[in-house]
Amino acid sequence: MKKQNLSQHGNIPVLKNRSIKIGIVVSEWNETITNALKEGALAFLREAGVEKEQIIVHYVPGSFELPFAASMMVDADDMIDAVICLGCIIQGETRHFEFISHAVANGIMRISQDYGIPVIFGVLTCDTLEQAQERAGGKHGNKGMEAAYTCLKMIGLQQKIF
């Protein structure tokens, strides 16, 4: 998988019910990266036929706040079918990176399990800013697009099963 553009996902998932509502929570930390991820996710959703009115976007200060914001979105609107969490955590000189990365990953997974809806992990965990740029529209594609693809795929699976 090294140096492969993973944003070439193939077919757009087909949903039974097109009246979906998707939340997107975006971290403001490493803003140029997270905005690129958001734009990639929005572009993919539009390409898939999701209307602007079906998407709610909120911003949080950093990636650590993503799980709580996702849970607030679901609590505030029980019509939300999925939430995409977008962030970027870059390794520094201390272990802070590890604590934040684990907390965010576990929090996002827990929200998904607790609420029974897809909550998508669209958080870059990179060693350098260059690696983040490569994954936010660079040579490795746009992980925001991949998160949107995953979101629609999981909504489709949920519709199929239920």
Catalytic residues: 96
Token digits of residue 48 = 């898939």
User: How far does Cα 157 stand from its chain's mean position?
Assistant: 17
Maximum Cα–Cα distance across the chain: 48
Q: How many CB atoms lie within 10 A of CB 155?
A: 20
- Which amino acid makes up residue 162? F
Torsion, Cα 124 129 131 132, to 10 degrees, reads 30
